Structure 1
Amino acid sequence: MKKNLYTADASAVGGRSGHVRSATGAIDMEMSVPEGLGGKKGATNPEELFAAGYASCFQQALLVTALKAGDTLDKESTVKCSVTLFQEGDAFGLSAILDVDLKKFDEEKTIAMVRQAHQICPYSVGTRGNMEVELRVLGKPLPVAAEENLGVAEHK
Structure 2
Amino acid sequence: MSKIEQVLYSGNSHATFNHEPSLQRGEHGVLDLKLSAFDGASHAFEATELHPRAEQLFSGAWSACYISAFEGAAAQKKVALPTDYSVDIEVSIGSAGKGFCLAAQFTIRAPGLPADVIESVAHLAHQRCPYSKAVRGNIEIGLEVVTA
**Band the TM-score falls in, shorter-chain normalisation:** 0.5 to 0.7
Aligned residue for 1:47? 55
SS across alignment from 1:97: strand
Aligned residue for 2:124? 116
Partners of 1:56 and 1:79 within 8 A in 2: no
Partners of 1:82 and 1:98 within 8 A in 2: yes
Would you say 1:97 and 2:100 are equivalent positions?
A: no
Q: TM-score, normalised by structure 2?
A: 0.60
Residues 67-113 of structure 1 show CA distances to partners (whole Å, capped at 9, x for unaligned) of 22334422210110011110223322110001111224212211211
Q: What is the deviation of 1:42?
A: 3.6
Q: Which has the higher contact order (CA 8 A, sep 6+)?
A: 2
Over aligned residues, Cα RMSD in angstroms? 2.3
SS across alignment from 2:132: helix
Gaps of 5+ in 2: 1-33, 36-48
Partners of 2:77 and 2:121 within 8 A in 1: no
Q: 1:63 aligns with which of 71, 74, 90?
A: 71
Partners of 2:108 and 2:144 within 8 A in 1: yes
Q: TM-score, normalised by structure 1?
A: 0.57
* Aligned structure 1 segments of 4 or more residues deviating by more than 4 angstroms: none
Structure ranking higher in helix proportion:
1
Q: What is the deviation of 1:114?
A: 1.2
Alignment of 1:115-134 (within 5 A): 115-134=123-142
Task: Answer with 1 or 2: which has the greater Rg.
Answer: 1
Q: 1:89 to 1:108 in 2, by over 3 A?
A: closer
Structure ranking higher in strand proportion:
2
Aligned residue for 2:25? none
Residues 24-67 of structure 1 show CA distances to partners (whole Å, capped at 9, x for unaligned) of xx99xxxxxxxxxxxxx841111000111122222111100112
Q: How many residues align?
A: 101
Partners of 2:85 and 2:111 within 8 A in 1: yes
